[in-house]
Each structure stands twice: as structure tokens, then as C-alpha cells.
A and B are shown apart, each in its own frame.
Chain A
Amino acid sequence: MRRSTLTLPAIALTGALALTACGSGADDGPVTLRFLSLAWQTDSVEANERLVAEWNEAHPDVQVEYVQGSWDNVNDQLMTGFEAGDPPDIIHNDSPALADFAGRGYLADLTEYLPEDLKSDIRPEAWETATFDDQIVGVPFLQESQVFIANRKLLEEAEVRIPTPDDPWTWDEFAEASEKLTDDDTYAVAWPLGSPVNRVLNLSLNYGGTFFEVDGEGRASAKMGDAELEVLRRIHDQLYTDETADPATVGMSGSDPLPAFFAEEYAMVQTGVYARQQVAEQAPDDFDWVTIPPLVGDTAEQGATSQTLSVAADSANPEQAAEFISFFLNAENQVDLALGDWLVPTSQEAAAAPELNTEENDWHVATASAEDLVFAPYLRVQGFDEWKTRVAQPALEEYFNDRISLEELSERLETEGDDVLSRYN
């Protein structure tokens, strides 16, 4: 009996062939594209699924399959998918992850596939977050700016001027207001600094802090100067010198401080514009809140990361995938996506939509903040992800827990940072 020796390899071979067949997409019959989406808020998932259904109805020969992913492990998942040669065709991610993937050649260059009107509709600063070596490796669509959400009643009681997009606070005014807002049972600010790296880097552009220098050949090195340390120092001062911010929130992330904020333990919470949703939905009925527009340092500029849609270089149908992306991210659809995620669209036409400019839920503050969102240099740095998780994250955690000094922090970000970056150069 030869059969026993042959069956298993035969099965393995059949399996391998079946996998290859799935990956390449059949030439005859409709093209099937897999779309890995990371949408997670109910409204946003709904908008995503609706748009996919709309597309599938209008394009019987290019069918898109919606695959639900998660921000928590998307990069690990993509890495294995790319290496196995079977990644999803259309990939939802955010711009900090793109540099590494683009550098390794995993992402298709979309420059020639995208229509002119999409290219001109999306703000150039946003395009920059997804363009590497003159190749567009992703279409940016949603951006987040860093704001504060404040308890209007407490601000009025303390007789603090409430800033507007036209007349925002400077960091100095913010510090003064914080002094006024702090008393025995209220801290002025909650800084949830659980994963602080991107936020600190984005805010540091207020004082021109770029943290990296990238030379002509694309080699990056860490750079720490006064400009880089300014925002770090100011946050630390609030926590431990002025004592206007609660050190207990340092380990928290995102929306963790909201319950205490509703209980008036904090007058303001630092967060991204998206958190307005949780505040709007979870705050007690009589709770009056206001969004404080981005602070101003030397400039009002903040670094921005974008959510992006990319096409895998291994995709058999990059053209159709790009077509789907162009449909998915047209101005009209971006309005829905922005509303679903409570973020700011990159499309200029979408940003002008009335739904995104009402005073309801401070949409006008959120949308206006997009104008100061600029490209942050760290997005170009290959090895940024490792720098962030291995070096910056632990060092910043220790700094914000008051375990190391600003000098030590600066030293670590620079020397340990250069060690990490040298692996990628």
C-alpha cells in the first residue's frame, strides 16, 4: 500500500494550492477584494458596512468583502499577512505605521491610480502623512486634533475666559487658568498619559519640537533640544510643580478620567476630539461641557496622524482596490465617516459640510482645528514604532511618574533612541 505515504503530502499540497488560488483572485468572474477595516464605534462600523454594500451593489464585478480588524493587533496581523504573501487587499491603518511598511515594500504606490479630484480635495498636509519617497502609499481620511474638554460651569465660576477657535488659549494662559481652577477638591486638568508618545510628539510642534533629524539618505537620528522639551516640561510642571493636574490620571488612557470629570473632580480633560462622543453620550443630562480648542505655543500647529486606507503591494487588483478607496473616501462619504468616528475629515469639501460646522457637540471647534494640523516629521522615521515602544513609552512613563528628571529623559530618548534607529539605517 503506497497510499499511506502519499496521502498527507498530497493533502498539504492541495491546501497550498487552494491558498494560492484564494490569494490571486480568479481572472474570470468577479474580482473579490478583502477590506480590513478597523472601525469600532457603532456608528462608524455602520457607515463602513453601508458604504461597502453600496459599492457592491453598483459594481457586480468588483466585490468587496468587509473584514473586521482591531487597532490592538493590526500591525502584528498585517506583518504576518504580508510575510505570508496573503495580506488583505485594502488596509485600514494609521499613518505612523506606514513608514515601516512602505520601507519594506509592502504597500502599493497609488499615485497613478487615484483620480485628480480626490488628490486636490484632500489637504496637502494630510497627503504628506501618507507619502514616502514620492509614493502615495495610503489615502488619509480622518485626523485627530488634541483638545481639552471642559466643564463650562467650573470655568465660569472661576471667572476664566472661555477660548474660541478665533481666540484660543496660549500654553501660558492655560497654566494660569489651571491655577484658578484648582482648589481643595478639584484639579484643573486630567492628563491621561497612559500612551503618551504620539500625543506629546504632536503637541510639541507648538514649540517646533521635531524629535528627529532625517538626513538626505533617509537615515534618522534622535534629536533633543529645548524645543522638544518644552511641552514635556509644561505637562510635568502641572503635575508636580503647580499641582494643577492630578498625578493619578497619568497611568490612564483616553477616556478613563471621564467618570471623575463628570463628578467635577476635574475641570478639564485632555483628549482627542473623538472623545466628544463619549462625553455627549455619557455625561449627566445637566452637564454643560465645552471643547477648548488646541493651545498655542510659538505656533498653533499640531502634528497629526491620519487614519489611512492603503493597498497591499501583493494585491492582484491594485487598480480596482484604488477605485474602491476613491469611492469610499469621496467628500460625501468622508462626512459620514467623520460623523461616525467624531473625527476631522481630510477632505476640504467634507470639512465645509454643514453637519460638521454646527455648534452642536462643538463640531465647529473640532473642524476648525484641522487647519492647524500639519505633518509631523516622526512619521517619516523608519523604526519609529520600535523607538516608541522600546524607548519613548517607558521613558515617558517614568518621567510623568516623576521617577526621572527631564535631563535624564532627554538623554535616554537620544542615546537609547539612536541605538534603536541604527538598526533600521
Chain B
Amino acid sequence: MSSTTAPPRTDPTPPAGRGPGRRRRADRPDRAALGLMVPALVPVLLFSVAPLIYGVYLAFTDARSGRNVDAEFVGVENFVELLGDGDFWASFQIGLVWAVGVTVLQFAAGMGLALLLNQDLRLRWLARTLAMVPWAMPPVIIGLMWKLVYHPNAGILNATLRDAGLIADNIDWLNDFSVALPAIIVVGVWTGMPQTTIVLLAGLQGVPRELHEAAHVDGAGAWRRFRSVTLPQLRPVIVTITSLNFVWNMNEFALVWVLTQGGPGGRTRLPMLYAYEEAFRYGFFGYAAAMGVAIVLVVLAVLAVYLRRQLKETE
């Protein structure tokens, strides 16, 4: 709890040669502000920072399940083993296909929907509300629902396709080696579309009308106006939502767990599912924690590259 009394210890001497006294006063939180901050800070430290540090620490131990099992510090052994773990990298590859696939499709579909909902349509309020529905559903419920949709004998998808004469035999969507991953990607897109749509819609409403009108006067068609006015104006919003989506999708668990549990034969085993299995099924906590750390690092690296490029282009 020493951290709660820390602020008075912050360096009271101003940086040499800078800052008049007036500013110094404003920089230092007074006691009242401190009192207000502590209740918010304690839970963050207790429930967010502490578990995080503990998780990272576990990654450097050989912690495993068992009564009276002592975990020993093993340095980077887990990470060395992880480098040579073909199954993990296979799962990582699946995770990337999933995360990139879902993010790109979510963006494309969300953009289309947002443009549509930005038009002056009749019953727009209803359409906007309906578009939000998937957002209101917990991932487990979505998983169960789509499991029924994909059910090989009783699912509405096979029934529809059969009635339309598109397939002759029922397809077991979630158990077929080649279609299971695309099938769950569709569910992922469906689930994540509302967030993407609403954020893009908010962005679209911030695009000044005058720009469109000016472009229109200059003779730009709809497509040209979209490319040269809407997209550049939306860029910060797009960068934000796609990077957030990527992180969320990479870390997706509940939805896929309910749909396939990582099957068939590991074809939909996202890295998070793999880490979960490793920890809570087989009991190798240390190794699983190392996987978590590795996933975070890779996601951060991917994001850093992406964000850097996007922000550079904006400048």
C-alpha cells in the first residue's frame, strides 16, 4: 500500500531553469485530488497490474498444477521451448489468419453498413438499432446460436442451401477440416460488425458536408468522392478501429471455444485456446504464461509496425 502515499514523494524541486512557480503548483496533485484518485487506483493495482506482473513472472518459472508443487525459476527456458514448439506456431498462424481475416472483413462490411446507415433512409433509426443487436449479445450466446445455424442435420444453413439446390449432402461446417476456419471467421465478422459500424458511422458524421459539396461541384463522382474525401477524413478513425479490432480478435476466446473448442484436429485452435488448454487442461501454468507473453509481444510488434506506417502516411 506504500504506493498510495507515494505522491508527496514526487520531486518537489522544479526542473532547473524552467517553469515558473505557478505551473509547479498545478503539476503537483493536492491532497483532495489524491483522495479521489486512490479508490480508483487501488483496484487497478490490485486487479490489473498485480495479476499482470504475476503472469509475466510465471512465464519464467516451471509452475505446474499439483498439490505441494513448488515452482522454480527457470529463466527463459519456457521461451526457448516455445520457439521450437511447432504446434504453437501452427496455432499462431491460425490466429493470424483469423485475426487478419476477421478484421479486414469486419472493416469492409462495417464500412458498407456505415455508409448505408449514413444515408437519409426511411426508418433509419430502426436500421441503426437493428445493426447494433449482435453487440448486445454475449459471445457465448452468439456461439451457441451459430452452432445451431451450422448444425449438420438440423441447422438452418444446410436446410437453406439444400432447398436452394446448392448442395446435395449436408456439410458439417464446424467439423470439416477445410471449412471450419472460414465458418468461424464468418461468425467473428458478424459479432464484431456493430462496433466497427458505429465507430465508422460516427466518423462519417464528422466529415464536413462542404467538402463533399465542393468535390461534387468539381465534378467528382460518388466513388471519387469516397476515395478522395471520405477516406482521408476517416483515416484516424479507421486506424483506431482496425487496430483495436485486430487486438480484440487476436485475443478472442469465448466465441471460438463455444463453437469448436479448437477442433477439428486443431484447425481452429487460436493461440488463446492453446494457452488455455495448456494451463487449465494439462496444468502447465508456466509454459502457458510464456505463451501469453509471447502473444502480447507479437501483437505489440504487429501493431507498432502498422500504426507507425499509418500515422506516417497521415503526416
Interface residues of A (CB under 8 A from B): 1, 4-5, 7-9, 12, 75-76, 79-80, 82-83, 100, 103-106, 194, 248, 251, 256, 259, 313-314, 383, 385-386, 389-390, 393-394, 397-398, 401, 403, 423
Q: Enumerate chain A residues within 8 angstroms of B152, measured Cβ to Cβ.
A: 251
CA distance A9 to B176 in the complex (A): 51
- Contact bitstring B230-273, A, C-beta under 8 A = 1, else 0: 00000000000000000000000000000000011110000000
Give A333 to B282 CA distance when docked, in angstroms: 34
Q: Is the CB–CB distance between B67 and A106 below 8 Å? A: yes
**Smallest CB-CB A-B distances: 6 pairs:** A394-B265, A104-B66, A105-B67, A251-B175, A386-B282, A76-B280
Task: Known A104-B66, A194-B175; judge A75-B38 contact (CB<8 A).
Answer: no
Is B6 an interface residue when CB atoms closer than 8 A count as contact?
no
Q: Which chain B residues lie closer than 8 Å to A256 at the CB level?
A: 153
For A7, what are the chain B residues with a Cβ–Cβ distance below 8 Å?
Answer: 39
Q: Which of A4, A105, A313, A423 contacts B284 (CB 8 A)?
A: A423
Instruction: Return the CB mask of B4-43 against A: 1 if under 8 Å, else 0.
Output: 1000000000000000000000000000000100110011
Report how far A398 CA is from B42 CA in the complex, Å.
52
**For residue A104, which residues in chain B have a CB less than 8 angstroms away from its CB?**
65-67, 69, 283
Cross-chain contact of B65 among A83, A393, A398, A401 (Cβ < 8 A)? A83
Known: A79-B280, A79-B283. A4 touches B65 (CB 8 A): no
Closest to A423 in B: B284
Check if B68 is an interface residue, CB within 8 A of chain A: yes
Complex Cα gap A8–B40 (Å): 10
- In the bound complex, do residue A8 and residue B67 qualify as a contact, i.e. CB atoms below 8 Å apart? no
Range for the number of chain B residues in contact with chain A: 20 to 34
Assess whether A4 is in contact with B68, with CB atoms less than 8 Å apart: no
Asked if B1 contacts A75 (CB within 8 A), the reply is no
- Whether the pair A389, B68 counts as a contact (CB closer than 8 A) is no
Bitwise, B123-155 to A at CB < 8 A (1) or not (0) is 000000000000000000000000000001100
A4 B283 Cβ-Cβ under 8 A:
no
**Chain A nearest Cβ from B218, distance in angstroms:** 59
A248 pairs with B169, CB closer than 8 A? yes
Question: Could you list 29 A-B pairs, sorted by A, with CB under 8 Å?
Answer: A1-B35, A5-B42, A8-B42, A8-B43, A9-B1, A9-B42, A12-B46, A79-B283, A82-B67, A100-B283, A103-B66, A104-B66, A104-B67, A105-B68, A194-B175, A251-B172, A251-B175, A251-B176, A259-B153, A313-B67, A385-B281, A385-B282, A386-B281, A386-B282, A393-B265, A394-B264, A394-B265, A397-B264, A398-B265
Cβ A8 vs Cβ B282 within 8 A: no
Using Cβ atoms and an 8 Å threshold, which residues of chain A touch B70?
none
Q: At the interface, yes or no: B213 with Cβ under 8 Å from chain A?
A: no
Interfacial chain A residues near B72, Cβ < 8 Å: none
Complex interface: chain B residues within 8 A of A398 (CB): 265
Answer yes or no: B77 CB below 8 A from chain A CBs.
no
Contacts of B281 in A (CB 8 A): 75-76, 79, 385-386, 389
